[in-house]
Amino acid sequence: MSHKNIILLLGGASSERAISKSSSKGIYNALIANGYKVTPVDPAYGSLQPDDAEAFFGKEDLFPVSYKNYIDAVKLPAFDNTDLVFLGLHGRYGEDGMIQSLLELRGVRYTGSGVLSSALSWDKAYSKMVFNDKGVQTAPGFSAHKNMYPLEVIIEKIKGTIGFPAIVKPNDEGSTFGFSLISKESEVAAAVENAYKYSENALFEKFIPGREITVGILNGMVLPVLEIRPKHEIYDYECKYTSGMSEYLVPAPIPDDVALKVQEQAIKAFYSLGCKTYARIDFRLDPDYNSYCLEINTLPGMTPTSLLPKMAAVVGISYEELVKRIVEAS
């Protein structure tokens, strides 16, 4: 059966609302170009939805935005006769299994991974446990609830287990919100405070010098490795979302055997968490070509210039074809 009626879920109430709108504009145009009937729905608006499709993608919020509105949104009659929900959401309640569980309860199909694999991928500490168990190498580190250790214990743990420089970040947040790279003891307090603004759990990892690389997976096919060369030492928010702040090289200029090994790690990571359809797996590659898996993005950015479309383009899959394949596989 060809999917005719598609709901595009976009926006949402997370810190990545603007990014989701940007991704979803590209998805919307590609779905229309593929001949699907598309109904945009912003779950953060609840039962109040704009009449005009273009209004969904504007910068201005037309109605009050809240997580509490998600249940009302999923109860809309549009969900009664849809063939598929395309998830254009990013961040909390979009990638973490929450919206997936509401859609499961509603009895509708959706793109991307299921409830458990979305939740596991979103929780960096739990995904690291699974990765390490399944032979996917990750950076040494530890996680801590905000009420677990006093600051001096955290400092001792950093010095004793990972050393400086170190990465401190929220355990469950996207787009490098709350992220810090610290090089000395005096910087720990501010970094910890910053991470706990975004999550009750923080992740502390050894900083891996080297290169930022990523691998896309599409319906079981492993896409070419892409290297990100940010203008800053770390691929931070500014480098991710500011034009000209990063250079993208695909295929990555690394030896073939290294690329193959990274791709093997990527597919292992993907299946170890039970992911489905498509995802993007991020790594650090040290100067000796050892790869360290950072995380899985179960709903990767999908603007026409995002990383997954760049990787797909190298193997001859256009943006519209990529969106079509995601729909058909879902």
Catalytic residues: 16, 175, 241, 280, 282, 295, 297, 301
- Please report how many Cα atoms fall inside a 13 Å half-sphere around the Cα of residue 280, on the Cβ side: 20
d(CA 35, CA 6): 11
* Closest listed residue to residue 309, CA positions, set 294, 324, 296: 324
Q: How, if at all, do strands 5-9 and 37-41 pair?
A: parallel
User: Are the C-beta atoms of residues 140 and 161 closer than 8 Å to each other?
Assistant: yes
Question: Rounded to 5 degrees, what are φ and ψ at 187?
Answer: -95, -5
d(CA 256, CA 267): 17
- Comparing CA positions, the residue from 47, 66, 48, 55 lying closest to residue 28 is 55
Alpha-carbon gap, residue 43 to 9, rounded angstroms: 7
Sign of the CA dihedral 60, 63, 64, 68? negative
| Contact (Cβ atoms closer than 8 angstroms) between residue 282 and residue 229 | no
> Are 92 and 15 contacting, i.e. CB atoms less than 8 angstroms apart?
yes
Q: Residue 297's closest CA among 285, 284, 283, 286?
A: 283
- What CA–CA distance (Å, rounded) separates 279 from 42? 22
Please name the residue that has the structure tokens 């695909």. Answer: 250
Name the residue with tokens 């309860």: 105
- How does DSSP classify residue 42? -
Residue closest to 291 by CA, chosen among 281, 301, 300:
281
